[in-house]
């Protein structure tokens, strides 16, 4: 590599030569020499943001002071929360969040024409890739025909959405769609789209190299940080603003250093490691912070393992979990088929710009943690949160304690159920019928006893783990050894294999392992998120009925990243995250009460017990197969025509048009009301008075609670809406698939079957008290309040809005007439989304909580101090009038964090701000 100085003192632009080509770049060392500050010991993740400031410094949006603030960050011990304007290189979407984003863009084209502007102004300025991965549902499983049957059903359900997305691909510039059946967006991003170092022309027309960065409309966009691509999840509304040229407004983050030492020991996996990391970082507290991994342990950590850890940044609460560029990054780029010229550029750029991790890598961090990877043991996480870490040796005992707490009654012994099911088919034993926590079902002509802890779903799913060949090959080897001993999944377990890309099938077939997985029940069901997003599909009716009859705490085990209540299946109340090999093991055992660390999974052909150690592969067995079957040629082959799609996708016909012809009868795609009748000028922020409480919610209310993605029933407001339009229950699909229709989604807001509104005693689901004090649905109550002109507020606890980057959690909140959400703390993305939709988030101060204030939900709320010269993060008075007439005034913190967010609220939301700006140019 040679570096030649072509100095531009204002922009610190230099040149480097790599792969036989000379290209410009913005140099951090040159910025130091120019006297802009000391940057050499900044973490690599923060250097990526600093480079962004150098490249876009214009004296207005980005100033020299913004650049110098990064030097001050280091001098102040890793803290300097100055507001900056950051511009990511590109945007990534999936279809559940991407459809409403494209709906908004189409509506903005109508809106800008209504304001007298040009519809062509509504076009992505940054490259956008949308991967259709959230729509496939597991209807068919456990058979060779499962994949094709599920694909066929996917197109039947979602054709309206696919026609719309294909129209968007034709109508908008810089917008590409990866068709269904290709893979999960984050895995496709990791394996193909991401480049680590991007190239494009800058604002002066010169071709430059710069760090690959992105925002994505899915919280697990963070996965790509495993290969040193800085990215994180945002709501669709924020992503739309970014793609239309609006910078991401953010504070310079704190960076937590996580030092990894040692190496993984025999029998452990990357999943075991990441579950421990999630627990540690949740305890440490990393919300709104970057986490950067460093230390000599990285020398023994494959990039696939790094991606697993980076993927779960939303679960540990960080903005991102970043791994710097090093030799392993280069190896992965080469192995996954990237061009050699690009690979050379990545290394040359990283070394020239101080972003290469070597033995002497020792940045300044805000705080640090340390983990010896040699201490990791096999583990799972559950039953309700990713951070509920359980060593495998404690899993069964902890589940038993959980059930005893849930039941508050003794339950019958496990031996009774196991013995009964081993016999397989006699009459249901009378001695079990009187015990709490038991039921029975007939499956494939035989009777089986189910109980609290019966595993009814075992799914190898999600990009978190299917992107990792080591755990996927490991799962295949477990299946091979189990098959050889005559073991199969238990009949009551719904098993599935949904890889995150077609490359996985390529190497499983090359290793001969797919045949073994098929033999124990893990047939291919599709390429997509499936169970992880809640698309687990229906259980066998007999299983579902038995669970309901016995009020059982049925369980699921999945290799995903999310196990929140009500997410995986309406029939399942306890959900566990595990490595793919452990998913197979739990399917063989069929019961969470069985201690896999020491109890038998089943019996082999000769009647002898089989234990986990008998079927667990060695690290060498796994590594040898990975090295021989996961090849550069496989990646290049499977991604050669990634945007082409199969015959079904090619057969989707659309009409070319500048604006979308909204079909009035569609129950999937509707023109949203956000921009209809919109004034040409912004409004003002007003005080809130006479507001009533729509919901009183507890801690860790996730975006799944606020806006569920899964199935819904005919009796729900959304179900009634579809039934009134002659949509049969069998065609309801899911909330996630219908995010292009605001009428369905506002009816589904706060409609999770497990959400608990503390205004009601012992009631689960989307219910509240209406204006007359009677119990009703949250949707019906909000409509009654809006008809009366009454504003609404929501009260919550800590970590309100945790989980997905789901913009509909904010959109639905806004459409229900909620003007403010008052909570103890907010997760990063949801707070931003609320502001983006014109809903003001507030935090309690001075130790106040909904509990210390004695709130019951019958209060009247007024918030002052919002009119006039409101400053970011101001403390304002909130007056509470209780049901008995007494009053109390508290101080609450307005979580409008930046000056630009003040403007967003004044405009009614970020998209309104962008639309007026584009129309006025």
Q: Please, what is the end-to-end C-alpha distance for the chain in angstroms? A: 44
- The pairing of beta strand 438-443 with beta strand 446-451: antiparallel
The DSSP line for 41-72 is TS-HHHHHHHHHHHHH--SSSS-HHHHHHHHH
- The sign one gets for the Cα dihedral 644, 645, 646, 652 is negative
Distance CA 539, CA 492 (A): 9
- The pairing of beta strand 213-216 with beta strand 230-233: parallel
SS3 (DSSP) at 395? helix
Which residue bears the tokens 């295949």? Answer: 476
Which residue from 106, 160, 98 is spatially nearest to 133, judged by alpha carbons?
98
Distance CA 83, CA 89 (A): 19
pLDDT at 405: 75
Strand partners, 818: 792
How deeply is 368 buried, as exposed, middle or buried, from its count of CB atoms within 10 A (0-12, 13-18, 19+)?
A: middle
Q: What is the pLDDT of residues 257-283, one digit of tens each?
A: 999 999 999 999 999 999 999 999 999
429: left (phi over 0), alpha (psi -120 to 50) or beta: beta
What is the Cβ-side half-sphere exposure of residue 36, based on CA atoms within 13 angstroms? 26
Distance CA 903, CA 913 (A): 7
Q: What is the pLDDT of residues 725-761, one digit of tens each?
A: 999 998 998 898 899 999 999 999 999 988 999 999 9
Distance CA 294, CA 45 (A): 11
Q: What token pair was written down for 865?
A: 């101090």
Q: What is the pLDDT of residues 838-864, one digit of tens each?
A: 999 999 999 999 999 999 999 999 999
Which residue from 833, 854, 820, 804 is spatially nearest to 910, judged by alpha carbons?
833
**16 within 8 A of 348, measured Cβ to Cβ:** yes
532 confidence band (pLDDT: 50, 70, 90): confident
Q: What is the pLDDT of residues 678-700, one digit of tens each?
A: 888 999 999 999 999 999 999 99
Which residue from 365, 404, 375, 396 is spatially nearest to 297, judged by alpha carbons?
375
pLDDT at 533: 80
Strand partners, 214: 90, 231
pLDDT at 445: 80
Distance CA 898, CA 892 (A): 17
SS3 (DSSP) at 67? helix
Distance CA 187, CA 499 (A): 9
Q: What token pair was written down for 501?
A: 């890309």
Domains of the chain: 90-106+113-123+183-375 (3.30.499.10), 379-630 (3.30.499.10), 688-920 (3.20.19.10)
Strand partners, 102: none
Neighbours of 851 (CB within 10 A): 12
- The pairing of beta strand 90-94 with beta strand 213-216: parallel
Helices assigned H by DSSP within 115-191 = 146-171, 185-188
**793 within 8 A of 692, measured Cβ to Cβ:** yes
| Mean pLDDT of all residues in 316-338 | 97
pTM score: 0.87
| Mean pLDDT of all residues in 692-719 | 94
Write down the mean pLDDT value for the chain: 92
Q: What is the pLDDT of residues 775-788, one digit of tens each?
A: 999 999 999 999 99
Distance CA 290, CA 486 (A): 48
Highest mean pLDDT among 1-5, 514-518, 705-709, 917-921: 514-518
Q: What is the pLDDT of residues 453-472, one digit of tens each?
A: 999 999 999 999 999 999 99
Distance CA 272, CA 474 (A): 13
Q: What token pair was written down for 538?
A: 């229906």
Distance CA 542, CA 439 (A): 11
The secondary structure of residue 675, as a DSSP letter, is: T
Distance CA 583, CA 498 (A): 13
The yes-or-no verdict on residue 79 having pLDDT over 60 is yes
**452 within 8 A of 417, measured Cβ to Cβ:** no
The yes-or-no verdict on residue 11 having pLDDT over 90 is no
pLDDT at 3: 35
Distance CA 365, CA 656 (A): 52
**381 within 8 A of 390, measured Cβ to Cβ:** yes
């Amino acid at each position: 590599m040679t570096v030649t100085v072509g100095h531009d003192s204002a922009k610190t632009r230099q040149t480097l030569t790599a792969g036989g080509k000379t290209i410009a770049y913005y140099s951090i060392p040159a910025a130091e020499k120019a006297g802009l500050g000391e940057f050499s010991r900044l973490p690599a993740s923060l250097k990526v943001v600093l480079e962004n400031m150098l490249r876009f410094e214009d004296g207005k949006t980005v100033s020299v002071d913004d650049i110098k603030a990064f030097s001050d960050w280091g001098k102040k011990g890793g803290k300097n929360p100055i507001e900056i304007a950051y511009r990511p290189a590109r945007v990534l979407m999936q279809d559940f969040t991407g459809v409403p984003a494209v709906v908004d863009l189409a509506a903005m084209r109508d809106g800008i024409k209504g304001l007298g502007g040009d519809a062509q102004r509504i076009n992505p300025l940054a490259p956008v890739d949308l991967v259709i991965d959230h729509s496939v549902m597991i209807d068919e499983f456990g058979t060779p025909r499962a994949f094709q049957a599920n694909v066929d059903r996917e197109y039947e359900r979602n054709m309206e959405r696919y026609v719309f997305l294909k129209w968007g691909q034709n109508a908008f510039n810089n917008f590409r769609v990866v068709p269904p059946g290709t893979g999960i967006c984050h895995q496709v991003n990791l394996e193909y789209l991401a480049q680590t170092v991007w190239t494009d022309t800058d604002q002066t027309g010169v071709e430059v190299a710069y760090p690959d960065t992105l925002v994505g409309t899915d919280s697990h966009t963070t996965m790509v940080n495993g290969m040193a691509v800085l990215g994180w999840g945002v709501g669709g509304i924020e992503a739309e603003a970014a793609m239309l040229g609006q910078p991401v407004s953010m504070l310079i983050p704190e960076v937590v250093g996580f030092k990894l030492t040692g190496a993984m020991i025999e029998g452990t996996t990357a999943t075991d490691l990441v579950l421990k990391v999630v627990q540690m970082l949740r305890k440490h507290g990393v919300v709104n912070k970057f986490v950067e991994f460093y230390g000599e342990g990285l020398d023994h950590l494959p990039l696939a393992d790094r991606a697993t850890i980076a993927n779960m940044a939303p679960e540990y609460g960080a903005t991102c979990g970043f791994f710097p560029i090093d030799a392993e990054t280069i190896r992965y780029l080469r192995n996954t088929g990237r061009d050699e010229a690009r690979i050379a550029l990545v290394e040359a750029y990283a070394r020239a710009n101080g972003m290469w991790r070597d033995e002497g890598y020792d940045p300044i961090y805000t705080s640090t943690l340390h983990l010896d990877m040699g201490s990791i043991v096999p583990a799972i996480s559950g039953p309700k949160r990713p951070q509920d870490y359980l060593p495998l040796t404690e899993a069964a005992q902890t589940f038993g304690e959980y059930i005893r707490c849930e039941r508050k009654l003794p339950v019958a012994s496990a031996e009774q159920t196991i013995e009964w099911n081993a016999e397989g088919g006699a009459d249901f034993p009378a001695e079990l019928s009187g015990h709490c926590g038991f039921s029975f079902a007939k499956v494939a002509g035989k009777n089986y006893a189910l109980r609290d802890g019966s595993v009814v779903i075992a799914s190898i799913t999600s990009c978190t783990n299917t992107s990792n060949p080591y755990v996927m090959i490991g799962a295949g080897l477990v299946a091979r050894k189990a098959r050889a001993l005559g073991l199969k999944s238990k009949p009551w377990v719904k098993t599935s294999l949904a890889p995150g890309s077609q490359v996985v099938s390529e190497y499983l077939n090359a290793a001969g392992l797919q045949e073994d997985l098929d033999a124990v029940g893990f047939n291919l069901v599709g390429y997509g998120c499936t169970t992880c997003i809640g698309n687990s599909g229906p259980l066998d009716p007999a299983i579902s009925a038995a669970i309901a009859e016995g009020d059982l705490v049925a369980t699921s085990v999945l290799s995903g990243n999310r196990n929140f209540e009500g997410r995986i299946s309406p029939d399942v109340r306890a959900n566990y995250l595990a490595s793919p090999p452990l998913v197979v093991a739990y399917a063989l055992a069929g019961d969470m009460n069985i201690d896999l660390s020491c109890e038998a999974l089943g019996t082999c052909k000769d009647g002898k017990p089989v234990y986990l150690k008998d079927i667990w592969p060695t690290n060498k067995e796994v590594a040898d197969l990975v090295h021989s079957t996961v090849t550069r040629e496989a990646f290049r082959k499977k991604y050669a025509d990634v945007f082409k799609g199969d015959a079904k996708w090619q057969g989707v016909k659309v009409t070319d048009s500048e604006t979308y012809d909204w079909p009035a009868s569609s129950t999937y795609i509707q023109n949203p009301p956000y921009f209809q009748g919109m004034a040409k000028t912004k409004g003002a922020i007003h005080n809130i008075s006479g507001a009533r409480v729509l919901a009183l919610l507890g801690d860790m209310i996730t975006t799944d609670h606020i806006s569920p993605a899964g199935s819904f029933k005919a009796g729900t407001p959304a179900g009634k809406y579809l039934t009134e339009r002659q949509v049969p229950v069998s065609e309801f699909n899911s909330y996630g698939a219908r995010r292009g229709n605001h009428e369905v989604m506002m009816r589904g807001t706060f409609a999770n079957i497990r959400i608990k509104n503390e205004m009601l005693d012992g009631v689960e689901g989307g219910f509240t008290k209406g204006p007359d004090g009677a119990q009703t649905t949250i949707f019906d109550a909000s409509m009654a309040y809006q008809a009366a002109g009454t504003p609404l507020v929501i009260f919550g606890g800590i970590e309100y809005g945790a989980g997905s980057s789901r913009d509909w959690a904010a959109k639905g909140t806004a459409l229900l007439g909620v003007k403010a959400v008052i909570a103890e703390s907010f997760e990063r993305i949801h707070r931003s989304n609320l502001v983006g939709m014109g809903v003001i988030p507030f935090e309690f101060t001075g130790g106040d909580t909904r509990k210390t204030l004695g709130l019951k939900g019958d209060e009247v709320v007024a918030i002052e101090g919002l009119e006039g010269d409101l400053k970011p993060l101001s403390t304002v008075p909130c007056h509470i009038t209780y049901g008995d007439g007494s009053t109390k005034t508290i101080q609450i913190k307005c979580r409008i964090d930046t000056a630009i967010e003040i403007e967003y609220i004044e405009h009614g939301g970020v998209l309104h701000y962008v639309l007026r700006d584009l129309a006025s140019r």
